[in-house]
Amino acid sequence: MSSLCAHVLAYSQRSCPIRPRLGTLSLQRLDGSSTPEIQTPGFITTSSRGVVPHLSRDHVRSTPSIRWTNIPFESFLDRMPPVPTLQPGSDPLHTFTGFPSKQHILSLSLRDPFDGREMPANNKQFVSAYCIRGVRKVTPADWKKYALACKPDLVVALSDVPYTSQPHSQKRATKSIERSTAWLADFLRPIPSTEESKLHRPDVLVNLVGGLEPRARTSFSESLVETLHGKEQEQIHPLHRLDEGVSGYIIDLLPLRLSRRLETFQSLPGQTVLDPETYVELARASLAPLPQNKVRIAYSTSSPHEILRFIRGVGIDLFDSHWAQRAAHIGVALDFRFPVISDESSIWNEEECSRPRVRSTGKRELGHNLYLEKYSHQHVRLASSFLDGTSPSSIQDAVICPCELVHQPLHQPTSLTAMPMSTT
Amino acid sequence: MEFEILARCPTTKARVSRMKLAHGVTALPTFMPVATQAAIKGLTAQQVEALGINLILNNTYHLNLRPGMKILKEAGGAHRFQGWNHNLLTDSGGFQLVSLSKFTKITEEGALFSSPFDGELTMLTPEESMAIQHTIGADIIMQLDDVVSSLTTGPRVGEAMWRTIRWLDRCIEAHEQSGKTDVQNLFAIVQGGLDPDLRDQCLEEMIKRRDRVAGYAIGGLSGGEEKDVFWRVIKQCADKLPDDRPRYSMGIGFAEDLLVCVALGVDMADCVFPTRTARFGVALTFNGPMNLRSAKYASDFKPITEGCPCPTCSDGTTRAMLHHIVALETAAAHALTQHNLVFQARVMGGARDAIMAGTFPQYLKTFFANYFGDDGYPEWCVNALRSVGVDLLEDRPNVKIIPGQGVKWDRAEP
């Protein structure tokens, strides 16, 4: 069994128990090797059908910041048995998807965390998952079988997050917590001791469920750290608490946003602006009962500002880069830095590269929309915020003609995906 | 341009040569990938360079429409615009007279195009084509020719051929007056449809101008004509074109077509086929095309081709993984484009090595045996290669002969 090593290097000096922190992550493998360190707060690369969208493998290799990639498994359910489970070799998922185990950490989740489409209901036997041939029912036993066969580095335990039409009842929320707890316990149940399974038991991440109700979220987290007795404990023996088998926690924002949006529309017709701190508070409710030494992951943050809020509010260590990859997909080259660079800064050099425009509100945009006509005459690099040499990427230093990108549908997302990935 | 023949096949008309242009040396015969709009679709310039490719093709008509000459001038030419530091060839826009014929009207002055984007009318004259290609800055530029579909018959074919010659004279004048003859090399294009007499007349006229052009192209083919006619036109032209000039067969991309053309004496060819078919999910191999959309590859854990040096195969990307993403993720188009361009380069590199070693006839026999196997050889290939002294059936007398095109496909199953 490999193990995820998370080291906190420094905490902020704030007095609250859940604080911003700097750290490192790496995966220690049985053969003594370990993956390159990931500095936290950092990013998890998102994938679609097992690939980083728009990047060929040589581009992935040449982007050193792609270190941890999450693979949603559901796209592989179009064939039975799922093809990655048939891949020969000691690292089936790494081999099949082309992320070398010496360089990359792979986590495996059943559902695509960014797919919020309405789905048929889960029940206590299965979770509904989506593939190109339709909806598939995946039982906890199926999920365990797939995960053990694919041998990812980390696996997200099955959780019951409903994507049926909103709103969800209190009873449904309670079921979600009960099922997620039971399925985690089932996942942690010892594997029959064959040599192979001993070698490849992946680390487990758990999705902190509980919906929009802070007490429910806290209750779920408390169930992870409470000492089990009797049959419940026997199920996970030699562990005593579920949390002992967990390497990290996931705050999944997408279902919260879907619920919250409906709630807001119902209570305040016409009001669409949500309090951005709401989600941080919900995350705090989940994380408060849990130990501080495990990795904290947030999925579906929607902007760099929200990322900063989650770092400040609850010390999140890893975020997905979906929004940045999505920006590339629609032709936006990101170009910003924190702290925000003042207009008078010597970093700006309009001759070398124009800065993102300032809106009438006085706020500077986060990047460049390369579909705008003005960029067709700018034969310069894409990002202006790194002209002082702080860019960690050679890709970013390249001169890419924006007008070339927007006329080539296959090129635009490739070049732009490599860029934000390289800055993460 | 410096053009030097390094070796000749003692049996066929094939030759290996060295063509030195302003952006480096290109070994011939070679296949030129097509970057219509200043990019090989799916690959960055750095990736193309990493594949060992050093001569690509841009399209004048398309670059003139978008991004336009103003932007190309600002950028300092197409090399800088697309980040490509190697050799570049631009076609003249003549092919678009056929491919975009519903937007075009031909006069003696030039071709009147209606922009497919905004309907704006543009007159592309030979002088304008030269001016645009000078702005683009390609190492090899093509004359504007009056192209008709190879299926066209009647007086229009002769009219187009003679107009192509008159336009060549105007292109030569414009090019010589530009002061760029030392860095940009003008190629003439032999037209004349499928009529041997017209082809002969065109060849005769164009060879008269040999001191004012750097090379010759054979145009007006690959438009759906019978392959048995196609190869005879290629042979007729290649036999008569000056030995000391490169010969470029336009629009040729299937591996069997390339090798037949090389055997007939052709040095260069281009086609969108390998890159376009990659985007449709087809990988090219020495055993024939492989349609990765087919269910038979769903759990095939081999690479496309064992031992292939392309980034896709050498990284161990399996057919199963490609089947999973093909036509759904652009990453599949990137991976297959890389593979197919390396395949084309291997076919031509293998031909060069064989010509240098004096084993080109055997190379042809081995290629056809592997590529077509028991499916049978296209009759036209057998005939064409017999005309230059290679009998594909010598060692395989019982192989099937397929009349017509004889193209090999891997049809997708449900």
Separation in Å, CA A172 to CA A164, A179, A212, A283: 11, 10, 12, 20
Q: Say yes or no: A257 and A365 in one domain.
A: no
Length reported for chain B: 414
Q: Which structure tokens are listed for B27?
A: 């070994």
> Residue A386 falls within a domain, yes or no?
yes
A25-39 tens-digit pLDDT: 999 887 888 899 999
B312 touches chain A (CB under 8 A): yes
A400 touches chain B (CB under 8 A): yes
Q: What is the rounded end-to-end Cα distance, in angstroms, of chain A?
A: 29
Q: Where does the pLDDT of residue A390 fall: very low under 50, low under 70, confident under 90, or very high at 90 and above?
A: low
pLDDT exceeds 90 at position B364: yes
Average pLDDT over residues B193-221: 97
- CA dihedral in degrees (B330, B334, B340, B346; nearest 10)? -170
Q: Where does the pLDDT of residue A387 fall: very low under 50, low under 70, confident under 90, or very high at 90 and above?
A: low
> Residue A342 falls within a domain, yes or no?
yes
Q: Are strands A21-28 and A38-40 parallel, antiparallel or unpaired?
A: antiparallel
Q: Say yes or no: A299 and A357 in one domain.
A: no
Q: Which structure tokens are listed for A303?
A: 């902007």
- Three-state SS sequence of A77-106: HHCCCCHHHHCCCCCHHHHHHCCCCCCCEE
Length reported for chain A: 424
Q: Say yes or no: A185 and A105 in one domain.
A: yes
Average pLDDT over residues B172-192: 97
Q: Say yes or no: A162 and A274 in one domain.
A: yes
**Using CB atoms and an 8 Å cut-off, which of residues 240-299 of chain B contact chain A?**
279, 298-299
> Residue A118 falls within a domain, yes or no?
yes
Domain boundary among A268, A292, A320: A320
Please state the φ and ψ torsions of residue B209, each to the nearest 5 degrees.
-100, 20
Q: Say yes or no: A281 and A396 in one domain.
A: no
If one counts the domains in chain A, the total is 2
> Residue A63 falls within a domain, yes or no?
no
Q: Say yes or no: A309 and A344 in one domain.
A: no
> Residue A366 falls within a domain, yes or no?
yes
A104-131 tens-digit pLDDT: 999 999 999 999 999 999 999 999 999 9
In the prediction, which pLDDT does A424 show?
35
In the prediction, which pLDDT does B209 show?
98
| Rg of chain A (C-alpha set) | 22
A76-102 tens-digit pLDDT: 999 999 999 999 999 999 999 999 999
Assess contact for A388 and A297: CB atoms under 8 A: no
B287-328 tens-digit pLDDT: 999 999 999 999 999 999 999 999 999 999 999 999 999 999
Could you list the beta-strand ranges (E) of B261-343: 268-271, 282-283, 290-291
Residues spanned by the domain of A274: 3-40+73-320
> Residue A66 falls within a domain, yes or no?
no
Please indicate whether residue A397 or residue B89 has the higher confidence score (pLDDT): B89
**Which amino acid, one-letter code, is at B397?**
P
A13-71 tens-digit pLDDT: 777 778 899 999 999 887 888 899 999 999 999 999 999 999 999 999 999 889 999 99
pLDDT exceeds 90 at position A271: no
Is A79 in contact with B66 (Cβ distance < 8 A)?
Answer: no
Q: Say yes or no: A401 and A276 in one domain.
A: no
Q: Say yes or no: A359 and A258 in one domain.
A: no
Average pLDDT over residues A150-160: 96
Q: Where does the pLDDT of residue B246 fall: very low under 50, low under 70, confident under 90, or very high at 90 and above?
A: very high
Residue of B40, B329, B340, B342 for testing the chain A interface, max A β-carbons within 10 Å: B329
Spatial separation of the C-alpha atoms in residues A415 and B121, rounded to whole Å:
34
Spatial separation of the C-alpha atoms in residues B298 and A383, rounded to whole Å:
41
Residue of A nearest to B35 (CA): A408
Is A376 in contact with B71 (Cβ distance < 8 A)?
Answer: yes
In the prediction, which pLDDT does A403 show?
42
Domain of A122, CATH number, reads 3.20.20.105
Spatial separation of the C-alpha atoms in residues A367 and A383, rounded to whole Å:
8
pLDDT exceeds 80 at position B272: yes
pLDDT exceeds 50 at position A404: no
Sort out which chain A residues have CB atoms less than 8 A from B66's CB and list them. Answer: 407
Separation in Å, CA B194 to CA B191, B221, B259, B386: 9, 8, 21, 21
A218-240 tens-digit pLDDT: 999 999 999 999 999 999 999 99
Is B67 in contact with A376 (Cβ distance < 8 A)?
Answer: yes
Q: Which structure tokens are listed for A91?
A: 């690292």
Q: Say yes or no: A196 and A340 in one domain.
A: no
Cα B166 versus chain centre, distance: 25
DSSP character at residue B318: B
Q: Say yes or no: A131 and A15 in one domain.
A: yes
In the prediction, which pLDDT does A412 show?
60
Domain boundary among A259, A285, A320: A320
B90-126 tens-digit pLDDT: 998 877 777 777 778 889 999 888 877 778 888 889 9
Spatial separation of the C-alpha atoms in residues B228 and B405, rounded to whole Å:
8
Map out the domains of chain B with their CATH numbers.
2-271 (3.20.20.105), 278-402 (no CATH)
Residue whose entry in the numeric block shows the structure tokens 């066969």: A149
A165-203 tens-digit pLDDT: 888 888 999 999 999 999 999 999 987 766 555 557 899
Q: Where does the pLDDT of residue A415 fall: very low under 50, low under 70, confident under 90, or very high at 90 and above?
A: low
In the prediction, which pLDDT does A389 show?
61
Smallest Cα–Cα separation from A286: which of A189, A218, A205?
A: A218
Q: Say yes or no: A381 and A246 in one domain.
A: no
Q: Say yes or no: A341 and A366 in one domain.
A: yes
Residue whose entry in the numeric block shows the structure tokens 């190379």: B363
Assess contact for A63 and A398: CB atoms under 8 A: no
